[in-house]
Chain A
């Protein structure tokens, strides 16, 4: 590779590094030079050229990733920021409109509605997923037989939950003559068209999301198995009952995983697309009751070819998610306990 051929000229590499060092331009260079073991100082040329070679090799290995980062992530994000200030329909060149797209959002009832739908979805689904996954993990953690069988079976819905197949299944199950109504009829409860009714359609999607509780459950279970037993026994000696033990021992020790799961499930919930698209046939209906943020972004960008508006919506989502993540990390020190503080 060209990487190796370049550093066959050790002098140039030496001169580069040597020239930079006295100015102290980079801390890394300094420390690596300072870290040189004494016996190596006899031949500094070889050592430094190896460092250069390693750096070149590093960038060689990183090349695909760097191209992707610049070409498919950072570059596009900057471009999308530009697009968000324009009107652009893919066919004619973008026209600068300043903050018009962002202002339009505040007056766009469907945008505001999609924010409301998405927030409602996340606020109900995320705690529900966490509680269910925690409960199942607690039951599974009591030294039960066939653990791996249960664990794998409960995880299965997580694997297929985002697929079109399951969304179609959901669509049938909660339709007027679907299975859910048949189940209700067994208990004498009158059914309804759950998917077709604006007041219930979103709840069927929430149920679908709770159904995929397996992934956070596995994370909780892995954490529970790490909790030292002596802590429970110590708590028991102190007279703590099972409930107290859960809140005073289990919950604090699991808090890093709760943090992780809250972050992950919320981010996932705010990005949900396939179920809403399939269940509502891409409309977000009935009466926009399943119009997720992402679905509306898709409609504006790719059905109405309003790329500027869609880019602005994407940036709002990025900022909101970044703020949410920042708040999570900032508050973490108040409620997340790491093992070493014990």
Chain B
């Protein structure tokens, strides 16, 4: 980028006699028009989310078919009611989701960084073949292992525990993060490793003291996306956690439909808002890291 900018400007100046610059006023008008257009589109795109938040703050007697975003009178009743709606207990679900998410994040960071260090820094037989498996599993649909893994976990009597959701993360089954970290570690200067080797460090010390601290950005991306994925995960908990005491937030939210049908939209949207709040919060705090992660790797 920075290398092309000066030459581009220079050539623009050279061209200017043939193509005179547009007058700055029409430029300003175009700029403003563009912003107005973008803000309109953005409003349309974000409208459903804004509407959901506003619906969650609406007093229960109001209809949910209104377009407006400003409710006549705010109330937090829906949050109070929704938190313990019917047989639902969201304090439990949030705790369960949080435990699973934290354990998954730790597992992914640990197992993926170990594998990535081996692929990025060490030479061993069949390395290319094995890395081929990383790339292959990257594109493998999750349905491929859905049935046999269920059979396996059923044999191990892991149904109704969080183990089927957590243990795979400690075995680096999210090939994506292995790949991400391999790419990242490859960019680190090898001189650091060599210097540590001269100082008598083994591979474990190099990994723990040199590579891991320098890989913090990739580890952060991994943690963030692992959080989003596990927090949003619905199929996994739906399959493996049948006991309502072990439900996660997503399954609990879906429980609204089972218990009430369509009548309780206020509490439902209150809990829906709370359920995506952590994700939006993390997004706001770390959006730069996240966007870079998407731009460089295409993760979703």
Contacts and interface: CB of A to CB of B under 8 A. Distances in A.
For A162, A168, A325, the residue with the greatest tally of chain B CB atoms inside 10 Å of its CB is A168
Contacts of B234: 163-164, 273-274, 277-278
B123 A61 contact: no
Contacts of B173: 68, 72-73
A87 B149 CA distance: 17
Given A76-B149, A179-B64, A310-B147, 14 more contacts: A64-B114, A73-B137, A88-B151, A142-B34, A155-B294, A157-B49, A163-B232, A164-B275, A172-B64, A233-B12, A274-B234, A281-B257, A302-B150, A318-B141
10 contacts: A51-B123, A61-B122, A62-B130, A83-B151, A160-B279, A163-B234, A183-B67, A267-B139, A281-B257, A318-B141
Contacts of B163: none
B283 A159 contact: yes
Contacts of A80: 144-145, 147-148
Nearest to B284: A152
Interface in A303-337: 307, 310-311, 313-315, 317-318, 321, 325
Contacts of B147: 80, 83, 301, 307, 310-311, 314
Interface in B127-175: 127, 130, 133, 137, 139-152, 154, 168, 170-173
Contacts of B144: 77, 80, 314-315, 317-318
A73 B114 contact: no
Given A144-B35, A162-B232, A314-B144, A236 B19 contact: yes
Nearest to A307: B147
A59 B124 contact: yes
A268 B298 CA distance: 12
A28 B126 CA distance: 9
Contacts, number: 301
A111 interface: no
B192 interface: no
Nearest to A279: B257
A153 interface: yes
A314 B8 contact: no
Interface in B48-80: 48-49, 51-52, 63-67
B282 to A, nearest CB: 9
B250 A153 contact: no
Interface of B: 1, 4-5, 7-8, 11-12, 15, 18-19, 31, 34-35, 37-38, 41-42, 45-46, 48-49, 51-52, 63-67, 110-112, 114-115, 117-119, 122-125, 127, 130, 133, 137, 139-152, 154, 168, 170-173, 178, 202-204, 207, 228, 232, 234-235, 238-239, 250-251, 253-254, 256-257, 262, 265, 268-269, 272-273, 275-276, 279-280, 283, 287-288, 290-291, 294-296, 298-300
A4 to B, nearest CB: 7
Contacts of A178: 64-65
Interface string A81-106: 00100001010000000000000000
A144 B232 CA distance: 33
Nearest first, the 6 closest Cβ-Cβ pairs linking A and B are A68-B171, A58-B124, A76-B148, A165-B272, A229-B8, A222-B295
A215 to B, nearest CB: 5
Contacts of A29: 125
Contacts of A302: 150, 239
A271 B141 contact: yes
A61 B118 contact: yes
A65 B172 contact: yes
Contact of B65 (A64, A182, A237): A182
Interface residues of A, number: 113
Given A32-B123, A62-B118, A139-B37, A156 B111 contact: no
B4 A230 contact: yes
Contacts of B283: 152, 156, 159
A120 B256 CA distance: 30
A219 interface: yes
A contacts with B: majority SS: helix
Q: Indicate the member of A61, A158, A294, A325 with the most B CB atoms within 10 Å.
A: A61
B253 A177 contact: no
Contacts of B63: 177
Contact of B203 (A61, A75, A261): A61
A66 B129 CA distance: 12
A45 to B, nearest CB: 18
Nearest to A183: B67
A228 B5 CA distance: 9
Contacts of A164: 232, 234, 250-251, 253-254, 272, 275
Interface centre among B66, B151, B273 (most CB of A within 10 A): B151
Nearest to B143: A314
Nearest to A88: B151
Contacts of B257: 168, 278, 281
Contact of B148 (A79, A139, A173, A297): A79
Contacts of A270: 141
A281 to B, nearest CB: 6
Contacts of B254: 164, 168, 278
A83 B148 contact: yes
A223 B127 CA distance: 31
